[in-house]
A and B are shown apart, each in its own frame.
Chain A
Amino acid sequence: GDSVTQMEGPVTLSEEAFLTINCTYTATGYPSLFWYVQYPGEGLQLLLKATKADDKGSNKGFEATYRKETTSFHLEKGSVQVSDSAVYFCADTGRRALTFGSGTRLQVQP
């Protein structure tokens, strides 16, 4: 079945460090790809999305590029803040419903 794999956390960074969270997908065809963020005690919120190959999704300084050749959608941010501490989920439009990765916890220290 379809699956989304993302790097295990937690990822611990100092403020202003560069962030990369890797994500690869297995859905065939041309799935749409998403990154969601979950802050403590809350539901998931859409962070960014890309709907076709080579598209770059971006929001709040985060960006991710849809790479069909490597089936990847890595999340990056040039300078993280303490307020970015959360759990990040990669997802694709699987066969019948959105399929999520296992989540990566990001901890940003001042």
Chain B
Amino acid sequence: DTAVSQTPKYLVTQMGNDKSIKCEQNLGHDTMYWYKQDSKKFLKIMFSYNNKELIINETVPNRFSPKSPDKAHLNLHINSLELGDSAVYFCASSDTGLKASPLHFGNGTRLTVT
């Protein structure tokens, strides 16, 4: 069974479009995250939800809007896509109490904006 699954795996779209990426975890974790990995492999936190409540919202454009219908799901909606949004987006989850609780990552969604 896949622990953290995200769809789609690949997403190719044109500038200006709106797209969504879905994420689900079956680990029973309370906290979920979205990370962005750029072409140089640098990983940056975007959002974090704990029990459906937004707890981290880094300096991300308003075009990005996370939605957590329940604690097992965290979706990412992106409006008016730009070339610079091209990256790999990773969903992750962890138990509450971050200090010793590792993140479990999905396999990523490679977004290409043309």
The residues of A with any CB-CB pair to B shorter than 8 Å are: 31-32, 34, 36, 38, 41-46, 49, 51, 87, 89, 93, 96-100, 102-103, 105
In Å, the complex CA distance between A100 and B55 comes to 19
- Contact, CB under 8 Å: B45 / A42: no
CB A68 to nearest CB in B, in angstroms, measures 15
- Contact, CB under 8 Å: B99 / A51: yes
User: Which residues does chain A contribute within 8 Å of B41, judged by CB atoms?
Assistant: 38, 87, 102-103, 105
- Contact, CB under 8 Å: A32 / B99: yes
In Å, the complex CA distance between A49 and B45 comes to 20
In Å, the complex CA distance between A46 and B27 comes to 15
- Contact, CB under 8 Å: B56 / A97: yes
- Contact, CB under 8 Å: A93 / B98: yes
* In the assembled complex, B66 has its CB within 8 A of some CB on chain A: no
- Contact, CB under 8 Å: B99 / A46: no
- Contact, CB under 8 Å: A103 / B42: yes
CB A105 to nearest CB in B, in angstroms, measures 8
Contact partner of B103 (CB less than 8 A), chosen from A42, A44, A102, A103, is A44
- Contact, CB under 8 Å: A97 / B48: yes
User: Which residues does chain B contribute within 8 Å of A45, judged by CB atoms?
Assistant: 105
User: Which residues does chain A contribute within 8 Å of B55, judged by CB atoms?
Assistant: 96
Residue interface bits B53-90, CB-to-A below 8 A is 1, else 0: 00110000000000000000000000000000000001
Contact partner of A43 (CB less than 8 A), chosen from B56, B99, B102, B107, is B107
User: Which residues does chain A contribute within 8 Å of B12, judged by CB atoms?
Assistant: none
Contact partner of B43 (CB less than 8 A), chosen from A31, A103, A105, is A103
Closest to A94 in B: B45
User: Which residues does chain A contribute within 8 Å of B90, judged by CB atoms?
Assistant: 43-44
